[in-house]
């Protein structure tokens, strides 16, 4: 039983590592809705830089979660979509959304500040 728990823990660690990154889940959530061009994605995610969006898309593509299609046109057109592998995360994203609807109002407005002490003096 303990060995099974260790394996499950390792599997969760791997899944979290695959999806970790400030913007990855948001990118995947958007791409789950429809195909986006790079500029559309950047406009849809307030606060993300061009460099960070490029890096996150490259990682997601390398992990097989995002597809990148280049159209040989002038100007060059590139579209990003979610892969079938990533579509399997749909129920998880729906569950997270349902959780937020149920409990989100009780979460502090700035969750990143939880547990941090302010400096005095």
Inter-axis angle of helices 24-33 and 90-103, nearest 10: 110
pLDDT of residue 111 exceeding 70, the answer is: no
- When pLDDT is averaged across residues 87-113 and rounded to a whole number, the result is 84
- When pLDDT is averaged across residues 50-63 and rounded to a whole number, the result is 96
Give me the pLDDT at residue 33, please.
Answer: 92
- Which is higher by pLDDT, 118 or 78? 78
Which strands, in side-by-side order, build the sheet including 36-37? Answer: 36-37, 77-82, 66-71
pLDDT of residue 57 exceeding 60, the answer is: yes
Q: What is the mean pLDDT of the chain?
A: 87
| Distance (Å, whole) CA 64 – CA 60 | 6
Give me the pLDDT at residue 50, please.
Answer: 96
| Distance (Å, whole) CA 59 – CA 77 | 20
- Report the share of the chain in percent with pLDDT over 70: 85
Element (H, E) at 77: strand 77-82
- Could you give all domains of the chain from N- to C-terminal order, each with its CATH number? 22-101 (1.10.10.10)
- Which is higher by pLDDT, 24 or 1? 24
Going by C-alpha positions, the residue among 37, 76, 72 that lies closest to residue 57 is: 37
- Report the share of the chain in percent with pLDDT over 90: 54
pLDDT of residue 11 exceeding 60, the answer is: yes
Report residue 121's pLDDT band, with 50, 70 and 90 as the boundaries.
very low
């Amino acid at each position: 039983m303990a060995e099974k728990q260790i394996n499950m823990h390792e599997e969760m660690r791997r899944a979290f590592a695959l999806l970790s990154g400030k913007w990855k889940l948001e990118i995947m959530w958007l791409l789950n809705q429809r195909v986006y061009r790079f500029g559309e994605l950047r406009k849809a995610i307030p606060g993300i830089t061009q460099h960070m969006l490029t890096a996150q898309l490259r990682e997601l593509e390398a992990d097989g979660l995002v597809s990148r299609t280049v159209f040989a046109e002038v100007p060059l057109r590139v579209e990003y979509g979610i892969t079938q592998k990533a579509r399997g995360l749909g129920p998880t994203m729906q569950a997270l959304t349902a959780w937020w609807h149920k409990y989100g109002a009780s979460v502090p407005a700035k969750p990143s500040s939880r547990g941090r002490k302010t400096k005095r003096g």
